[in-house]
């Protein structure tokens, strides 16, 4: 019997989300800090690519967030307000 191995992308694609559209669980507290943030690590450290650079600023979309907490750790300006989604919302992992 051969085992099937899944790539990270295949595993992520198997997940489901119940997005809390009325209350995003992550927020950028001060966009002006993003403007002055030289390396903008959130834009390349987030595995779900939730942060996208637009000019000097960064746009955040939390729909595909996998709730890893990386963005909160790597932000050098403490500019990210991070909470888990409300109970029952957010990502539903199919693989652990």
**Nearer Cβ to ligand SF4 (11/77):** 77
Stretch that binds ligand SF4, among 2-10, 16-24, 72-80 (CB under 6 A): 72-80
Interface pick for ligand SF4 out of 11, 77, 86, 94 (rule CB under 6 A): 77
Residues facing residue 80 across a β-bridge: 28
- Nearest CA to 58 out of 74, 87, 37 is that of 37
Q: Which two tokens stand for residue 20?
A: 């809390």
Residue among 22, 27, 13 nearest 91 (CA): 13
Q: Which of these segments, 2-10, 11-19, 35-43, binds ligand SF4 (CB under 6 A)?
A: 35-43
């Amino acid at each position: 019997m051969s085992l099937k191995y899944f790539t990270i992308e295949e595993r992520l694609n198997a997940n489901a989300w119940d997005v809390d559209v009325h209350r995003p669980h992550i927020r950028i507290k001060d966009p002006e800090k993003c403007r002055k943030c030289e390396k903008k690590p959130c834009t390349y450290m987030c595995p779900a690519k939730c942060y996208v650079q637009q000019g000097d600023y960064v746009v955040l979309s939390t729909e595909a967030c996998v709730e890893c907490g990386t963005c909160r750790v790597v932000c050098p300006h403490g500019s990210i307000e991070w909470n888990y989604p409300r109970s029952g919302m957010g990502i539903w992992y199919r693989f652990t």
